[in-house]
Structure 1
Amino acid sequence: MADFSELVAQAVKPTMNRAEREAVYGVVRQAVRRLQERENLADDDPRLALQNHLVEETIRDVEADIARAEAMRKLDEALAVQNKAYAETRSGRGRN
């Protein structure tokens, strides 16, 4: 399943908006359904439920990774602004 997760993570970019990411997830879900149809799994086959669960879990993991990366990016930006303001304050004091 790690290969599958990596494949989904590579297909989805953090710069994509939510609608674009959902479109990718839709393709992933459709591909899994096609594979399940080829395997002729019955609707009550536990493997079907497990596969669907793993797909949704992978999507949640990718979304969590994107959210975490975005949060870190915002924190880095805030720190840069704070450091710049601090440096400007310190350099302003030195002139007086």
Structure 2
Amino acid sequence: MADFSDLVARAVSPAMGRDEREQVYDVVRQAVQRLQEREGLAVDDPGILLQRHLIEETIRDVEFDITRFLTLRRIDEARAAQDAESARRSGRRR
């Protein structure tokens, strides 16, 4: 499943909008569903249910990582702006 997580993580990027990422996730879901249909197992088969759960869990994990990345980037930008403002103000006092 680690390879699958890596594949999903590589298919999306923080630069993409939420709608774009959701389109990628839909493609992933459809591809997995087609693979499951080829196996010929019942829709309520425990193995299929587990796979679907793991896919959704992977998508949630990727979204969490993207959210964390974007949040940390915004914090860094805010800190840089504060530092620049502080430097500007301290330059005036001299």
**Which residue of the partner structure matches residue 29 of structure 1?**
29
1:13 aligned partner, one-letter code: S
SS across alignment from 2:64: helix
Q: Percent identity?
A: 62
TM-score by length of 1: 0.95
Moved over 6 A (4+): none
2:46 is the alignment partner of 1:46 = yes
Distance in 2 between the 1:32 and 1:44 partners?
Answer: 15
- The structure with the larger Rg is 1
1:42 aligned partner, one-letter code: A
What runs of 5+ residues in structure 1 fail to find an aligned partner?
Answer: none
TM-score by length of 2: 0.97
Provide the aligned length of Structure 1 versus Structure 2.
94
Distance in 2 between the 1:9 and 1:45 partners?
Answer: 27
RMSD: 0.6
What runs of 5+ residues in structure 2 fail to find an aligned partner?
Answer: none
- Provide, for residues 9-51 of structure 1, a one-character-per-residue CA deviation record: whole Å limited to 9, x for no partner: 0000111111100100000000100110111111221001000
